[in-house]
Structure 1
Amino acid sequence: MSSVSAYYNGKTVLITGATGFMGKVLVEKLLRSSPEVKAVYILVRPKAGQSMQERVANMLKCKVFDRVREDCPNFHEKIKPINAELTQPKLAISAEDEEELLTRINIVFHCAATVRFDEPLKHALQLNAMGTQRLLELARQMQKLEAFIHISTAYANCVRKRIDEVIYPPPAEPKKLFDLVEWLDESIIQDITPKLLGDWPNTYTYTKALSEYLIQQEKGNLNIAIIRPSIVGASWHEPFPGWIDSFNGTSGIFVAVGKGILRSVIANNEAVADMIPVDVVINLTLAAGWYTAVHRPKNMLVYNCTTGGINPFFWGEMGKIQVKIRAQETSVAFEVLCWSYSSYSSELVKALMDQNSSKDQMSYLSLTILLCFRMMKIINRLHKSLMLLQYFSTQSWDWSSDNMNMLMSHLNPEDKKLYNFDVRQLHWSEYIESYCLGAKKYLLNEDMSGIPAAKQHLRKLRNIRYAFNTTLLVIIWRIFIARSQMARNIWYFVVSLCYKFLSYFRASSTLRH
């Protein structure tokens, strides 16, 4: 019944960036919707002291694979890791592995990228642009390749207000730029980066624009499609509503609001907060892979995977939802970070708290200092993230979505259900609430049964804040303002009014009981 699922059955697939947020969802969806897929090769590099095997083992333990693990306990046998490094010549792949890829791969999904906005230009170029170029060189030699799908970003051309599904001229000539950063000293590159970026806000969008142009110039006879998602957020439906494992994008904002360490964001209330659920992006990606391989369009197609022009959601609306989350008018309640020691996972903090059974004032002082330093570190990181996000939260773009609509029209009813990327059906307030619950459950690993207790705790803290503010107001009034007879009269009138109101409230309460 499903043409897309049937296409991938029996195919051998190569995925880069499989250990990342979007990559994991892509691997999971592919294995679950096309259980007869022959093999899924993934390019993985050692990172942060972990070997390739350790990284793959950790990836497979992730909760995102729980559904496919239930249906097919041996799903991991279809995943074939290849030790590779996109920043190295020929991807640092061994001759034996290269031969295997060249003779077996039917479709490539290129998801790997550094998504850090403040990545040094040289590293961003090496991974996002030069890495793409090297993968294209490998793909052109693949004997059975039917499609190459590249994941870009809707903001690759953010210097334009109207963004069509076409490849625009690059911000610089890629090869000249590659030569430049190869021989220049790191400090000099850092100094000239603002000049090189020009109107582009960061190295991420800049290098993604270069990558798109490189693909157009060097694709040869390959069947290629480019997917441009906007701000990728938690899943809408698959594999679970609200699944998220990354603090990038708006996830960090929701967590910071829920934790009580963020009370305002610089944004234009009338600007579109163009979020897109990760499962929508992956469904579109797999459908585009099928269409590219089967229909072989004459021209390379670009898909703007956005919501702003179809089902817009504004930063002002997000602000209202954040207020509800903070006031706990929704079903979400986070453990409040800045008021509760139990929120800290640091082993050192736990050890300090455990040893405080005796009234050791130095231990309390050490704990307080440690928590203050950690809080300042969190706040500084959050402030930096908000400053980087400000460019996108204060303006809107107009994206065309003709190719996305065309692809949807080519899907049969079963495929439209199984690979749903119709964002017109997305109900934003429900999605945001699910997003926050997912952040609490999957990102922070908080106990969902503790939501009522968290709400009660938050109410206590709110009452404490109100009492503190009232007391402070009274002190300020008494010391600085109440020096005239008129001010004293107003003060006594307000106090007597409050007393009468409290007396009336107590009397009413007594009568009811």
Structure 2
Amino acid sequence: MISSLSINFSFPLLKPQTIHYGPFKTINIKNRSQMKNYFSDNKKQPKGINGSVVPSPKRGNGSERERGQGIGIAKFLQGKNYLVTGATGFLGKVFLEKMLRTAPDVGQIFVLIKAKDKEAALNRLKTEIIDSELLKSLEEVYGKNYKTLVMSKLVAVPGCVCEYDLGMDPLRANEIAAKVNVIVNSAASTKFDERYDVALNSNTKGPSHLLNFAKSCKNICLFLHISTAYVSDGEAKIIQESPLCMGESNVSRKRNNISENQTSVPSLDIDNEMRLATNIMELVNDSEVAKEMKILGLERAKIHGWPNTYSFTKAMGEMIITSLKGDIPLAIVRPTVIGSTYKEPFPGWIEGNRMVDPFILSYGQGKLFGMFADSKVILDMVPVDMVVNALIAIMAKHVNFDNPNLTVYHIGSSMINPISIGDMVDYFYTHFKCCPLSDPKGMILASPRFDIRNTQKLMEEMSDEEIREFWFDLGSINWEEYICNIHIPGLRKRVLKSK
């Protein structure tokens, strides 16, 4: 929630000098080396929402976790076959890298790639995934011929989630349906103001098309759908890990707060939303379609209580698969704002100018002089490698324990290890003060907190070995170190291509 309190940014000077760190603290740092030494000597213990020290996940006496069995992640990964969408995206790449690094005996991973034919799909697999800086880390595990192993595991499949049959060749579709055990849906259109027709196809229809395919898979163990934490009511103080109900808008959830003179609550009819988009496209001139579709998406989202087209269409996608899942085991994962890697396969890997990052870079380049915001508002960030580790643990939990129930998992830090806008700006200032950019050529604000009891319970059930290999304890993140020493340096190197 943005208020009228102004935060004035003080930009770094090019010469070394004393840093005024927040309203109470002054430190003297002259270069990057001193900054790293400062943070290593002054690491802060993460604090909970009441200021208390955040506890580690509980360890039960005599539990399977204590005996070293945990939830069986290693057993789960052996020999399973996967169908993965969105693998050329930021989260998808990290997921593939982790799977290949920790599970050399994994079965085939069919990678659905938007392409016109097999050759084009294979080319995208090689150039956008296998040849990426991220997957080069596999050389340390498998040697210089690591690409041969990767090519033996990853199968490029031309197709598109927007099409009813996923755009797959029928023979390939039958092969995958006979082999696949787990479907991981990471495909999405993530622009907040995306064209309504495009967002509906990717975020609303796409998941239902995959679910229909899952129902044809003979050995399906789990459909894992990656959504976003922001599909839920942004005005609730604590957002629960619960599924969305078909046709229930955010406005209807707030019906008790509706004024007396408001006579009706708009009903959310997903089929009608799709017809509306189609009808308007037919009525508008081709030259105006893109503009009108963007306007329509934002209008429809706000009518039903969502802030943008992205979260609205993702919410409708959740509603459809929840209502139509039948006997398909389903888990929905809702990460908050995903940032660069914290540790794996190396700190600071990021791709693209994401979420809060335009603000960081604008600040560092001297283009952002201030903003109106409440400095106490909590931002909810999670490193991408922690999200991936949680995804793998969730898959193992549902498959090994034969859990047919739908479970929703929030992966977020606001309940267990919150970071405020004020703290974030302090960290920007500290970094750019000692390490200014040499060539100075929507943020999501989470005022509510996201309940993470399901995700925390998952960690409590993991063995010590599983926690070491698939660590995602969000309470252990040192935000000062992550923002100043990992995330911003990653942005500088991989987005700005500067030192």
**Corresponding letter in the other structure for 2:242:** V
The equivalent residue for 1:259 is 365
Displacement after TM superposition at 1:298 (Å): 4.5
Q: What is the alpha-carbon distance in structure 2 between the residues aligned to residue 19 and residue 131 of structure 1?
A: 16
Deviation string, structure 1 residues 399-452 (Cα, Å, up to 9, x no partner)? 1111111111111111111111111110000000211111122223324xxxxx
**Corresponding letter in the other structure for 1:196:** R
The equivalent residue for 1:436 is 488
Q: What is the alpha-carbon distance in structure 2 between the residues aligned to residue 243 and residue 71 of structure 1?
A: 18
Deviation string, structure 1 residues 468-513 (Cα, Å, up to 9, x no partner)? xxxxxxxxxxxxxxxxxxxxxxxxxxxxxxxxxxxxxxxxxxxxxx
Q: Residue 196 in 1 paired to residue 292 in 2?
A: no
The equivalent residue for 1:306 is 412
CA shift in 2, pair 1:55/1:265, >3 Å? farther
Residue 91 of structure 1 aligns to a residue whose secondary structure is coil
Match for residue 211 of structure 2 among 115, 122, 136: 136
The equivalent residue for 2:85 is 16
**Corresponding letter in the other structure for 1:415:** E
Residue 230 of structure 2 aligns to a residue whose secondary structure is coil
Q: Return 5+ residue gaps in structure 1 as ranges.
A: 339-387, 448-513
Match for residue 404 of structure 1 among 455, 458, 465: 455
Q: Residue 337 in 1 paired to residue 337 in 2?
A: no
Q: Return 5+ residue gaps in structure 2 as ranges.
A: 1-67, 250-267
Higher RCO by CA contacts (8 Å cutoff, separation 6 or greater): 2
The equivalent residue for 1:226 is 332
Deviation string, structure 1 residues 317-366 (Cα, Å, up to 9, x no partner)? 011111222322xxx4433232xxxxxxxxxxxxxxxxxxxxxxxxxxxx
Instruction: Give the length in aligned residue pairs.
Output: 390
Residue 249 of structure 1 aligns to a residue whose secondary structure is coil
The equivalent residue for 1:82 is 157
**Corresponding letter in the other structure for 1:32:** R
Do the aligned residues in 1 keep the contact of 2:82 with 2:110 (CA within 8 Å)? yes
Do the aligned residues in 1 keep the contact of 2:398 with 2:404 (CA within 8 Å)? no
Q: Residue 126 in 1 paired to residue 201 in 2?
A: yes
The equivalent residue for 2:230 is 155
CA shift in 2, pair 1:193/1:54, >3 Å? same
Q: Residue 25 in 1 paired to residue 94 in 2?
A: yes
Do the aligned residues in 2 keep the contact of 1:258 with 1:336 (CA within 8 Å)? no
Q: Residue 315 in 1 paired to residue 384 in 2?
A: no
Do the aligned residues in 1 keep the contact of 2:330 with 2:404 (CA within 8 Å)? no
Displacement after TM superposition at 1:165 (Å): 0.6
Displacement after TM superposition at 1:46 (Å): 2.8
Displacement after TM superposition at 1:176 (Å): 2.7
Deviation string, structure 1 residues 97-143 (Cα, Å, up to 9, x no partner)? 10111001011110000111010111101001101110110011101
Q: Residue 112 in 1 paired to residue 187 in 2?
A: yes
Worse overlay, 125-134 or 244-253: 244-253
Q: Residue 425 in 1 paired to residue 468 in 2?
A: no
Larger fraction in helix = 1
Deviation string, structure 1 residues 214-258 (Cα, Å, up to 9, x no partner)? 111111111110110000001111111111012111222222322
The equivalent residue for 2:11 is none
The within-5 A match list for 1:49-88 is: 51-58=120-127, 59-72=129-142, 73=146, 74=148, 75-88=150-163
CA RMSD between the two structures: 1.9
The TM-score with structure 2 as length reference comes to 0.75
CA shift in 2, pair 1:194/1:253, >3 Å? closer
Q: What is the alpha-carbon distance in structure 1 between the residues aligned to residue 173 and residue 92 of structure 2?
A: 21
Q: What is the alpha-carbon distance in structure 2 between the residues aligned to residue 190 and residue 154 of structure 1?
A: 22
Detail structure 1 runs of 4+ shifted over 6 Å in the superposition.
none
Residue 84 of structure 2 aligns to a residue whose secondary structure is strand
For the pair shown, the structure with the greater C-alpha radius of gyration is 1
The equivalent residue for 1:164 is 240
Do the aligned residues in 2 keep the contact of 1:6 with 1:34 (CA within 8 Å)? no
The within-5 A match list for 1:89-100 is: 89-100=164-175
**Corresponding letter in the other structure for 1:60:** I
Match for residue 111 of structure 2 among 32, 42, 46: 42
Q: What is the alpha-carbon distance in structure 2 between the residues aligned to residue 298 and residue 96 of structure 1?
A: 29
Do the aligned residues in 1 keep the contact of 2:85 with 2:113 (CA within 8 Å)? yes
Worse overlay, 162-171 or 1-10: 1-10
Displacement after TM superposition at 1:11 (Å): 0.9
Deviation string, structure 1 residues 362-417 (Cα, Å, up to 9, x no partner)? xxxxxxxxxxxxxxxxxxxxxxxxxx33xx33x50121111111111111111111
CA shift in 2, pair 1:214/1:326, >3 Å? same
The within-5 A match list for 1:167-186 is: 167-169=243-245, 170-171=248-249, 172-185=268-281
Q: What is the alpha-carbon distance in structure 2 between the residues aligned to residue 76 and residue 335 of structure 1?
A: 40
Q: What is the alpha-carbon distance in structure 2 between the residues aligned to residue 79 and residue 168 of structure 1?
A: 33
**Corresponding letter in the other structure for 1:444:** L
Q: What is the alpha-carbon distance in structure 2 between the residues aligned to residue 20 and residue 193 of structure 1?
A: 23
**Corresponding letter in the other structure for 2:479:** W
The equivalent residue for 1:294 is 400
Do the aligned residues in 1 keep the contact of 2:193 with 2:297 (CA within 8 Å)? no
Displacement after TM superposition at 1:191 (Å): 5.2
**Corresponding letter in the other structure for 2:223:** F
The equivalent residue for 1:248 is 354
Deviation string, structure 1 residues 10-69 (Cα, Å, up to 9, x no partner)? 11111100000000000000111111101111000139xx93222211121111112213
Do the aligned residues in 2 keep the contact of 1:14 with 1:107 (CA within 8 Å)? yes
CA shift in 2, pair 1:432/1:196, >3 Å? same
CA shift in 2, pair 1:302/1:322, >3 Å? same
